Amino acid sequence: MPKELRTRNISLPASLDDYIKGLVEQGEFSTYSEAIRNAIRQHQLLQRNLAWRNERWRQAIEDGRADLAAGRFGKVPGTDLYEVSLEDLE
């Protein structure tokens, strides 16, 4: 069963319109709509990847704080640092 397609009217600056027109003329996409749909899909993928990366960073920070609180830390290689105070992280 085909997906329901909805029609939208959008306004683009000339530079973006020219860019899309060039992509269609070069055969990258068969229609303007196809080019716009692809751009939206790429944006969705980028947002999912950013959310995943941000969650990984948040978890790494949380794990690091837990390690510090539990005393699981040591000398930082190549430095004179031996300990980190939790107050320095606040």
**Phi/psi of residue 7, nearest 5 degrees:** -100, 135
DSSP states along 13-42: -HHHHHHHHHHHHTTS-SSHHHHHHHHHHH
Sequential pLDDT tens for the chain (90 residues): 668 989 999 999 999 999 999 999 999 999 999 999 999 999 999 999 999 999 999 998 998 889 888 887 776 677 766 555 555 555
Instruction: Give me 3's structure tokens.
Output: 């997906």
pLDDT at position 81, please? 66
Are 55 and 62 within 8 A, CB to CB? Answer: no
pLDDT at position 73, please? 74
Instruction: Give me 79's structure tokens.
Output: 């430095």
pTM of the model: 0.66
How many Å apart are CA 65 and CA 54, to the nearest integer?
Answer: 17
